[in-house]
Structure 1
């Protein structure tokens, strides 16, 4: 078997950053039947391939133009004799190119705008350390750098209202190499984003109107100054029913921030459920707020208490009565009086000492053994109550204990 040529020795590699070329040199072979040399190259993760092409090299040197990717390339040289036999590869050497190659251009750029901000989003780019966002009034430019970001998103807070702005983005790697620009997208400056819904609804119910107040949503100040406002809705009953939802014509509002509405179109004594929306300057309406339910006011006094009883005690006369049928009772008042010969009652004083029982009240300091007429009247939350001289007012006659021994 014929021997293969001797392996080349003395291989070295130098890289010229100006030209982007690696120069290889090695010791000339002393083979008498030398035909030439082959140079092989590979990356750390690839197999050897011929870098010197199909023709044999006749001189012990080779210049290789490397891609400006910052990668490390490994080399070895093999000797070839006139019979076509190839030696083993020399000891490996390496050269690392200067990185002048930017990342891939960003893809999937979108622009979603409202009156004050255009939201730009795109797909992340591998090897991108940051992104530059450019804008222009015309698609042909000139483009101005709007800002930089490390995330695949950017919020343009200087969007011109109702005017187009063209956007494009490019990625830069850690060495500052830029990519090509993304495709251009257009933001038209038209507000299509509804604001957040108002929060914290409260109510103040009177006999003539129901006032609903709320908290203005965050970031609504700009909209409010530029014509944004609120809408109050209601539906009958104790739940918000979209099928019967109607908008309330507010009688008056909070003039400073438009955060209160007075509803005077209710049926007295009926249940209503309210909700509020925010409407921005472009007419975009928010979702409904969390609802609040009220019972509207009325001007009808509660009916007479029932089951009125008077129980004499050592400390006075205890008055008690049955629980009311009405659900809007706020408090009770009691009086003590004396029956006149003509059957009428002359009322002397009120009894104001309450007890732990909401349907009981004590009239204290009643003279021993004396008989009086007692009356109890209910007052609702809207200050409606029967007059004391109303013939339907519940009364009871009782005699206090006689604690004086004969």
Structure 2
């Protein structure tokens, strides 16, 4: 009970100070949390950096920093801790009536010291600025902390006098880290599809989509999505719309906006229907049919675009553009296309779009999964046999696997020659083969194994394994034979 009374008294005292002038209303109310240490080498530097940063920030009369003793008293009475967890920072800042809280960490490797810093705006419940400074040795650290304080002060004063500031010039961090790429608008029937690729090097948690009726704005937010595709269905015919997007991460830091793109509704083909994929050695067969539903699009169908992603809900990128005239007539109403040059054992998800003579694309088809044949694994070679090496390996499960090919060399980095082809139907979960052809004594031999599909294509070879044949037994010394004995020599 006493603990709660004391906690309330401390909080009341802090609020009273704010109202009576100690924390002036026009001032920026700030607290600096103790900087953590990222490794053992940085022990003790967290406190030094925190004290130096507070000292530098205190020189600006527009910034009012909460006394560390008052902060620690409040935290102890309320069983709270200083850390950089956003919810915790916002909770403490809200209860203390603060505008901002500075958090950060220090790392040291050799003489190199790195200070990472973030600024959390309490009323917006997000980190609005982040940066880092580096110093070579502790003697140079003070100057870098002074620079850091100057950067933070610049952000704080901008935040108090104008629109939300998310990054100081030249500091990098979340904002200013670039924009989503390959942003485009795809016209559709009574809708406009927006597609893009993630911001390189930015861990996006989602995207904000903005629209305007003029290229120069004003832009209003349409919505948010965690996908790299967005369908705007609140559109009218014969009207051009202008779009831009930006990404945000889990700390609500924002990327730059994309360049503005325009699009307007138009008739589009119906999306094709993917029937299946067949993964083989370094290739993928994709089978689809045109959409049987009647399309309102008067423009003739021109071709198809193939999109691919590493995950079903991932970012799909266009990898092939096919003209209908280049696709052979299969006679069964299906369309077959083989993607080649793919990595071994890789899983992909494919989606297709049809496009017409105007270049207008359909929506993307439902995704279908496919995996190429993997490299043969768990190859073992048993040596120390008389002019013989025994090989074993794990089989691959695939209806398109037909054989395994064994290659041999006397060196590990090349010169492999195929010595045997084994029918895949002849084995089971594990395969074995004894090599006895042309082997010498006490000689190391290197082996690799590939998998072959029904198109005679092979996977990349397995990792080489080596085995050495047995040496010739030593000749016996002083070997003689004596005859003239009864029924023996």
Q: TM-score, normalised by structure 1?
A: 0.31
- Relative to its length, the structure with more helix (as a share) is 2
Q: TM-score, normalised by structure 2?
A: 0.26
Highest CA radius of gyration, 1 or 2?
1
